[in-house]
Structure formats: C-alpha cells, structure tokens
Amino acid sequence: MKLEKILKVAVRGGASDVILKTGSIPRFRFNGELLTLTDGETIDAALMQDWISALVPQHLKVKLHELVDLDFSYTTSEGNRFRVNLFRQMQKYGLVLRVINSHIRTMEELQLPSIMKEFPKLQRGLILVTGATGSGKSTTLASIIEKINTTRAAHIITIEDPIEFVFKEKKATINQREIGTDTLDFESALRSALRQNPDVILVGELRDRETTETALMAAETGHLVLSTLHTMDAVESLTRLLSYFPPHQHDSLRIMLSQTLNYIVSQRLIPKADQRGLVPAMEILASNELVREEIQKGEDFRILKDAIRNGKRSYGMQSFDQSLLFFVKKGIITEQTAIQHATNKKDLELALRGFGQG
C-alpha cells in the first residue's frame, strides 16, 4: 500500500484529513464524516516506519526517539501539500495529514461576513481568528492575507508551524518563515520580524506569554497583526490571553488589549444543505467604545456577549446563532443543522419562526 496513492485519493476525493494508525485501515474525513478507505489494508509497524522515514524532514528525525509530537509540512511528487502531525499512542505511531488546498479561496468564495472585507484595509492592531482544530482558521487567514496581497503594496511576514498556504507575490512582498526550518520559535521570529520593516505580520498561533506580549507590542507600534487561538468564542479568547500572564500584569494587559484589539472572529464549520462542503458560522466581536471599556474593566467578559448580539447593525458584529440564522435564510444550511449547532437552541428556534433575533 503506497502512501502517495492514499494521499492522491484523498486530494481527488475532496477529503480534509487522512488518518493513519498502526494496526488500522486508513481513514479519510469528508465534510466532517469519517470514512474508511475502500479496499484498504491494515497498516503494520514496518509500513508505518517506511512512511515516517519518507515524510519526516531531516532536521526533525533526531526527535523521533523523544516522546514528542511533531508538526511539519509535506509535499507529494504531484505538488499536493499536507500539514502533518506525527504522534505515538499505545507505544505505536500514528499520523494525521491535513490536506492544504493549493487554491487560496477568496473571502467571497468562503462567504465571509461583509464586515470582514474591511480587515485587509486595516493598517494596525490585532485580529484574532479562533476556533477548534479543523475549524478553518488557516483558510480564513489565508483569504485575508491574499486580499492584502492583491490590493496593497505591503510587506507581509508570516510565521507558521508549519507553513500551510504558499502565497505568490502580487502587489505585496511576502516572506514566509517556518518554525524549526527558518527560525527557532514564534517569539524570536516575531521579535526579528519587527526589525524587518513589516506592514503585516501573521503569527500562526499565540501559544504563550512571550509571543502574546510581542504580538501586542507589534500591534501597538503600528503593525497589523493576525493570529489564532484554539478557543471557541471571544470571551474564552480574552480569558485565555489573560491566563498566559501572572495576575499582577492583568490590569496593564487589559489596557493594551483594549487599545490594540480590532476584531475577534470565532468560527465553526457547518455542513451545507446540499452536502457539498462546509460553511463557516462566525461570531464576530468588533472593537468599539463599549467593548474597550469592558475589556479594561475585566470584571465580567460575559457582558461582551450582549454587545455582540446588539452590535450587528452598527458595528457588523454577530453571534454564532445570528450567523446560523443568516445561512438558513439564504438556504445554505438547513434549519435542523442550524438548531443542532446553535449556542442557544430555544432562541434560534424562535428566531426561525419569525420571533426573537430576526
């Protein structure tokens, strides 16, 4: 059983992920559903070892005997790219390969909310795109970067682990740096980026205090900074950022956040009614005077949920359920799917009947 053949089947079939586990048959994820490879064979330890030898970059092979997970990118002979996670379970190896679409989808193709068309025009501040693993954060960020690339003569630096979408320069100059290959870590790469005359900086993820602190400083000093968090909504995102810092720094951090934060976009992928793919339902928090005041106070970030629900018309904000309602009205998702994924099922049911949120 050849790895390249399995990956070719995944790409041609439109799979989002390939799951390979010693002792199991290869599986693909299509539109959120997990399916077994037809006529697939059980992967034995020797075959898995052959695949690992072919996949893992030379500079990471020294870590294979350490008890660590490895993240890296892989390109097939046909030019198809994958984000790879190598791990151990029950003392055996496993691999999950995320298909990276070579086509960078536009903001229009992704059906992103109209307020997000303003993002590429911003000159400074912080934009966070958050969500669970596999929720499309990288795809959304790539569409924003590509819009900047096609409309502005900007210097864009991306710092990723690993590099996913590869951009072709248009109006912008783009430097893409990969952790472990081009630079040591996010924090040192971000500090170096500030000495490289950037206009826009994409940081793959805010994972720790040092990276977050440097990202906020970059946003504060006149750069547009985009990054991600593995959080489900705006409230959790702000709480997560605070958790990176000791309590005595929280007051100053809240002030810095209130001054630099532009938007928090939290997304979930929802199956379309025609079963031909997924659409991102999004909660959007936009910075305005009320939001800035509540972030500075830091007494109860849950108040921001009301600001999000009530800020749709004036500021382009929206809750997850308002996003779901929009897609139902457009016929893009079914009512049943919307209710299944709703934050508040009862409220959404009322809204679908013509009451409530509207």
In tens, the pLDDT along 107-126 reads: 999 999 999 999 999 999 99
Is 67 a residue whose pLDDT tops 80? no
Q: What is the chain's mean pLDDT, rounded?
A: 95
What's the confidence (pLDDT) of residue 15?
Answer: 95
What's the confidence (pLDDT) of residue 43?
Answer: 97
Per-residue pLDDT of 23-63, as tens digits, reads 999 999 998 899 999 888 999 999 999 999 999 998 889 88
What's the confidence (pLDDT) of residue 313?
Answer: 83
Is 321 a residue whose pLDDT tops 70? yes
What's the confidence (pLDDT) of residue 303?
Answer: 92
Domains of the chain from N-terminus onward: 3-100 (3.30.450.90), 114-318 (3.40.50.300)
Instruction: Categorize the per-residue pLDDT at 343 as very low, low, confident or very high, splitting at 50, 70 and 90.
Output: very high
What's the confidence (pLDDT) of residue 356?
Answer: 45
* pLDDT > 90 fraction of the chain, expressed in percent and rounded: 88
**Averaged over 119-136, what is the pLDDT?**
97
Three-state SS letters, the chain:
CCHHHHHHHHHHHCCCEEEEECCCCCEEEECCEEEECCCCCCCCHHHHHHHHHHHCCHHHHHHCCCCCCEEEEEECCCCCEEEEEEEEECCEEEEEEEEECCCCCCCCCCCCCHHHHHHHHCCCEEEEEECCCCCCHHHHHHHHHHHHHHHCCCEEEEEECCCCCCCCCCCCEEEEEEECCCECCHHHHHHHHCCCCCCEEEECCCCCHHHHHHHHHHHHCCCEEEEEECCCCHHHHHHHHHHCCCHHHHHHHHHHHHHHEEEEEEEEEEECCCCCCEEEEEEEEECCHHHHHHHHHCCCCCHHHHHHHHCHHHHCCECHHHHHHHHHHCCCCCHHHHHHHCCCHHHHHHHHCCCCCC
What's the confidence (pLDDT) of residue 252?
Answer: 97
Is 214 a residue whose pLDDT tops 60? yes
Is 352 a residue whose pLDDT tops 80? yes
Is 357 a residue whose pLDDT tops 60? no
Instruction: Categorize the per-residue pLDDT at 5 as very low, low, confident or very high, splitting at 50, 70 and 90.
Output: very high
Is 341 a residue whose pLDDT tops 50? yes
Is 358 a residue whose pLDDT tops 80? no
